[in-house]
């Protein structure tokens, strides 16, 4: 196993379900020593999530690999938590704003114990503003950021993306903020708080669409797989499937007309310029689709790729996993060896590094698996103290 870029970094993960656990798992894959803290007996809600294998949640395994795990009731075990805080670099949590303050464990209090602490909080709407204390989940973020307003086909209902993209983007932005805060701490010795809102990160994800409105005042609407600014392009049916094509550069219009054996389209006044082709996109797409339906997806891609077009098949998940580039050379699917269910495949990290490549360093922890390692081995608590803490429901 390669050394990790973040080796020596100590992280406490208070996260639940997705955004914060994903952030902490990424830090763990990069070599940080991540300790996940869960409620005694119950644990993270996602331990009950589907999919499952032998009654173990592989959802939980995916987002909690590369971590050790302990249990701790933050209300009953506040003093123990503060002892842990003294020796960590980063805390990650995704409670609703105000929860940690009620416990007396918010950043303002924790930095008194450890001024070098970097505290990353991920929430639906962020730590400030009139919506801060609202419950905010991925779907809410997709709704209020505008993502759902532009996802789907014209005339369809607002549609969420098929995956929890706001949660994943939130975790990624939290990692970026943490790494920037670490760099600042190197220079100043001071920690800081990183405030991530799922709505904010979703707004950033819409940057190119936002710019249409910010520039022209026109509100973008659902446009299916078509492009706002160029035609032809977007999604087209084939004999056996569907593919995406981008031929936005002006030269590709002539190349496509010749490939379709329809040179007369070059003289058609409806399609004389890109602007006119966008205006008459419905008629143009009907012509292109009539041609693409005469070939299989592989045939049309093999025809257009050598001509310089950017084209791609619309792939199902099984095809993505089996793809020789994505699942093969790029190694986007890794494996963990879970103590209860054995080997299980999970999604890998997208970051590739030449010297310190992120990799899965251990499976997700069993509930409280590392209580003894952390409380006895690192805090020096006695066996008797641990027994008392278990009896009192602290761990």
pLDDT in tens, 308-352: 999 999 999 999 999 999 999 999 999 999 999 999 999 999 999
Selected catalytic residue, list 33, 89, 138, 167: 167
Each residue's pLDDT tens digit, 69-119: 999 999 999 999 999 999 999 999 999 999 999 999 999 999 999 999 999
Q: Which of 31, 37, 32 is nearest to 12 (CA)?
A: 37
> 61 Cβ partners below 8 Å, 6+ apart?
336, 338, 344, 346, 363, 364
CA distance 335 to 289: 41
167 is an active site residue: yes
Could you tell me the CA-to-CA distances from 219 to 139, 206, 282 in Å, in that order?
21, 13, 20
Tell me how far apart the alpha carbons of residues 60 and 15 are, in angstroms, rounded to a whole number: 12
State pLDDT tens for residues 122-170.
999 999 999 999 999 999 999 999 999 999 999 999 999 999 999 999 9
Domain boundaries, the chain: 10-205+356-391
For residues 206 and 199, what is the distance between their CA atoms, to the nearest angstrom?
11
pLDDT bracket for residue 265 (50, 70, 90): very high
Grade residue 266 by pLDDT with cuts at 50, 70 and 90.
very high
Q: What is the DSSP string of 58-110?
A: HHHHHHTTTEEEEE--TTTTHHHHHHHHTT-SEEEE-PPTTHHHHTT-SHHHH
What phi, psi does 356 have (nearest 5°)? -130, 60
- For residue 223, the model assigns a pLDDT of 87
> Is domain 10-205+356-391 annotated with CATH 3.30.300.30?
no
């Amino acid at each position: 196993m390669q050394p990790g870029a973040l080796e020596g970094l100590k992280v406490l993960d208070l996260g639940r379900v997705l955004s914060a656990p994903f952030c902490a798992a990424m830090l763990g894959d990069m070599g940080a020593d991540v300790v996940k803290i869960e409620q005694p007996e119950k644990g993270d809600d996602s331990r009950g999530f589907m999919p499952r294998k032998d009654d173990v949640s592989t959802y939980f395994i995916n987002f909690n690999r590369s971590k050790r795990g302990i249990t701790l009731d933050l209300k009953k075990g506040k003093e123990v938590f503060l002892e842990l805080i003294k020796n960590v670099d980063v805390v990650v949590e995704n409670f609703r704003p105000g929860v940690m303050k009620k416990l007396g464990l918010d950043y303002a209090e924790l930095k008194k114990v450890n001024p070098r602490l970097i505290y990353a909080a991920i929430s639906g709407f962020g730590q400030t503003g009139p919506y801060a204390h609202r419950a905010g989940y991925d779907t809410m973020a997709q709704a209020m950021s505008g993502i759902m307003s532009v996802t789907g086909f014209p005339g369809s209902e607002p549609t969420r993306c098929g995956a929890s993209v706001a949660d994943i983007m939130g975790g990624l932005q939290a990692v970026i903020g943490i790494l920037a805060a670490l760099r600042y701490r190197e220079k100043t010795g001071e920690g800081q708080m990183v405030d991530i809102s799922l709505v904010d990160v979703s707004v950033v994800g819409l940057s190119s669409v936002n710019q249409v409105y910010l520039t022209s005042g026109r509100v973008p609407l659902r446009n299916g797989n078509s492009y706002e600014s160029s035609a032809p392009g977007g999604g087209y049916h084939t004999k056996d499937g569907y593919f995406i094509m981008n031929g936005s550069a002006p030269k590709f219009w002539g190349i496509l007309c010749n490939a379709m054996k329809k040179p007369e389209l070059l003289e058609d006044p409806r399609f004389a310029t890109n602007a006119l082709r966008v205006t008459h996109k419905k008629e143009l797409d009907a012509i292109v689709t009539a041609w693409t339906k005469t070939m299989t997806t592989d045939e049309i891609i093999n025809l257009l790729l050598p001509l310089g077009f950017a084209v791609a098949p619309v792939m199902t998940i099984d095809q993505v996993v089996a793809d020789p580039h994505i699942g093969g050379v790029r190694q986007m699917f890794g494996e963990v060896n879970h103590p209860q269910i054995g080997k299980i495949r999970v999604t890998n990290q997208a970051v590739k590094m030449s010297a310190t490549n992120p990799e899965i360093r251990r499976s997700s922890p069993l509930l409280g698996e590392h209580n003894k390692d952390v409380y006895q081995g690192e805090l020096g608590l006695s066996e008797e103290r641990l027994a008392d803490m278990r009896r009192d429901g602290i761990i």
